[in-house]
Amino acid sequence: MYLAWKEMRYAKLRYALIIGVMVLVAYVVFMLTGLADGLADGNKQAVVDWKASSVILSNDSNKIASASSMKQSDLKRVSVSDKNKAGVGYFPTAVQHQKKSEKQNVSVLGAKKSSFVVPNVTKGRLYQNKHEIIISQNLANLGYHLNQKVKLGSDSKLYKIVGFSKATKFSEVPVIYLNLNAFATLKYGDQVFKNNGEKPLSLIAIKKQSANKLTVSQSSDDTKLDKLSVNTFIQNIPGYSAQNVTLGAMIGFLFVVVAAIIGIFMYVMTLQKTSLFGVMKAQGIKTSYLAKSIVGQALIVGVVGVAIAFVLGYLTGFGLPETMPYSTDLGQWLLDGIVLILVAIIGGLFSIRTVTKVDPINAIGGE
Amino acid sequence: MTPVLKMTHINKRFGAGHTEVDALTDVNFSVEAGQFVSIIGPSGSGKSTFLTIAGGLQSPSDGSIHINGTELSHMNAKQLSEVRFNQLGFILQASNLIPFLKVAEQFDLVEKLTHQSIQARVESLLKSLDIEDLKQKYPKELSGGERQRVAIARALSNDPSLILADEPTASLDSEHAYEVVKILAREAHEQNKAIIMVTHDERMTQWSDEVYRIEDGKLKIKED
């Protein structure tokens, strides 16, 4: 490492440049990771907040909440205690200020106010009747406030904001909670139901019971229901997997780019130094020492580059607009950082063969 | 006394069949501690081949080499590397210094690799070569003569018994060249080292204890 450090100190500009490239690539990796995590969170956050273990959807929905439809009476078919199951209505729509024309897309979730999926209210109170709603903090930040009346979907009656919950998203838009009757009206308008059991639900969320241990009774005229783990449910949110795979592939490709950049740089540096390596070998300095020095430099470039990019990426998180989904998952970044440093070292390893092949005989004058 | 370097019936051939070239033919040579020996010869005479074989950088086709009584021909690359590091010092034409290390750091590296303190030795070497003031300079900041003096100090720093100098004066003007050769002679006598200098310049041989001439791969003692 002594040689590695001293050479980097001597050739500051060269190594500053390569560290600069390393910083840029690592920064892009962190940004993409932040973006991937942000998008993923935005897609699923509300469901994650439920802390549910499994989800039941209608069989014909093909595992997608917006296409799933069942009746409130279907709740009884699930063999779990009442406090561990929650009927949820999901309706993607838009919210509008009473007197303004601009609209904001939201995910409306209907649930009994006592059920476990309803978030804690951070300000104000829970909804008590059909035309009261609680909104997530990120929607409040867009200019909505307590006791304000807003228009939801195509319902001509106004809804009153009575509480805020912590910021969350589902399907990339902020979340509104309201009761199941309001959900029924938003989704089916003025349609009259024979009794409460006939009223609609989109899905049932289950706590503390894994999907394969759940039993759901099934008779011939019941809606066919599917049991899924929460994880499967999230993977099937439209766009979720596609997004993750795409961004993941880009990140993976950048790892290869890092190995190539460091590999090429160290290789060129090694070629420039072959005569010096010849002299050093003639002096009896071991090849392994020279090889360690090259790998050491790749390690230093990797560690310094990743550390700078880490700080930059972290600071970037504070400067981005609300509309850009970005989430700083330090655990994931740490993993990215370790992989980046490892591929930098692999890049350095390419040059070792060249060092091994340098013949010390070349150090002595040419005849 | 065991000679520091003893070469017996050394032959070195390159190529095979009709392209075969004899680089060295039946070379017998030995040098003892405290001796400063010059080998003179034109280019293509086999000087460099002689030096690379003496330094364990390549093996002869026939014959044996002993350094301080140890036979080199059975050693592997790693063992040869250790012999070179501990018992040999090289002084090369252009300088054997590492460009990105300051003068003092050249010796720090040797110290790190030997795991022994050589500071006292280095201090007295730098003093005797009059290059104490250059410690914080990089090789490129030194003049050719200064650089060769540092190279001599580097070659002597880990206390080798044999120094091989390959045209150490080639890049110097005659005044500096004489000075470097005188230093080599002095170090051989004062520090009791065996020093072999290969050169093509007759004028440089006047301080040597023995002068050999090499021509067409044959080594003979030079008779004036």
Alpha helices in B14-161 (DSSP H): 47-54, 77-87, 103-114, 119-128, 144-157
Do the beta carbons of residue B162 and residue B35 sit within 8 Å? no
Most B CBs within 10 Å: which of A355, A362, A367, as the mutation test of the B interface? A367
Q: Residue A211 has what pLDDT?
A: 86
Determine whether the interchain pair A10/B138 forms a contact, defined as Cβ–Cβ distance below 8 Å: yes
Tens-digit pLDDT profile for residues A344-363 = 999 999 999 999 999 988 88
| C-alpha to C-alpha distance for B84 and B96, rounded to whole angstroms | 14
Average pLDDT of chain B is: 90
* Residues with Cβ within 8 Å of residue B192, at least 6 apart in sequence: B33, B34
Tens-digit pLDDT profile for residues B185-221 = 999 999 899 999 999 888 999 999 999 999 988 999 8
Which residues are A78's β-sheet partners? Answer: A216
* Residues with Cβ within 8 Å of residue A195, at least 6 apart in sequence: none
| C-alpha to C-alpha distance for A349 and A355, rounded to whole angstroms | 10
Alpha-carbon gap: B110 to the closest alpha carbon of chain A (Å) = 9
* Residues with Cβ within 8 Å of residue A257, at least 6 apart in sequence: A25
Determine whether the interchain pair B46/A282 forms a contact, defined as Cβ–Cβ distance below 8 Å: no
Domain B5-221 homologous superfamily, CATH? P-loop containing nucleotide triphosphate hydrolases (3.40.50.300)
Residues of chain A with pLDDT > 90, as a percent, come to 80
pLDDT at B21 over 90: no
| C-alpha to C-alpha distance for B192 and B174, rounded to whole angstroms | 26
Query: What tokens were used for B208?
Result: 């040597």
| C-alpha to C-alpha distance for A329 and A351, rounded to whole angstroms | 34
Please state, in angstroms and as integers, the Cα–Cα distance from residue A292 to each residue in A307, B18, B149, following that order.
22, 44, 30
Q: Residue B224 has what pLDDT?
A: 63
Tens-digit pLDDT profile for residues B96-117 = 899 999 999 999 999 999 888 8
Please tell me what DSSP assigns to residue A223. P
Q: Which residue of B has its CA nearest to A361?
A: B57
Stretch (H or E) spanning B182: helix B174-190
Tens-digit pLDDT profile for residues A214-226 = 888 888 888 899 9
pLDDT band of A230, cuts 50, 70, 90:
very high
pLDDT at A304 over 90: yes
**Which amino acid makes up residue A194?**
K
Alpha-carbon gap: B114 to the closest alpha carbon of chain A (Å) = 10
Domain ranges of chain A: 2-44+240-363, 86-204
**For the whole model, what pTM was predicted?**
0.84
| C-alpha to C-alpha distance for A95 and B212, rounded to whole angstroms | 101
pLDDT at B143 over 60: yes
Determine whether the interchain pair B57/A6 forms a contact, defined as Cβ–Cβ distance below 8 Å: no
| C-alpha to C-alpha distance for A278 and B55, rounded to whole angstroms | 13
ipTM for this prediction: 0.89
Within 8 A of B166 by CB-CB distance, chain A residues are: 364-365
Determine whether the interchain pair B100/A282 forms a contact, defined as Cβ–Cβ distance below 8 Å: no
Q: Residue A365 has what pLDDT?
A: 65
pLDDT band of A342, cuts 50, 70, 90:
very high
pLDDT band of A367, cuts 50, 70, 90:
very low
Determine whether the interchain pair A281/B81 forms a contact, defined as Cβ–Cβ distance below 8 Å: yes
Determine whether the interchain pair B99/A283 forms a contact, defined as Cβ–Cβ distance below 8 Å: no
Tens-digit pLDDT profile for residues A33-49 = 999 999 999 999 999 99
Alpha helices in A178-225 (DSSP H): 180-188
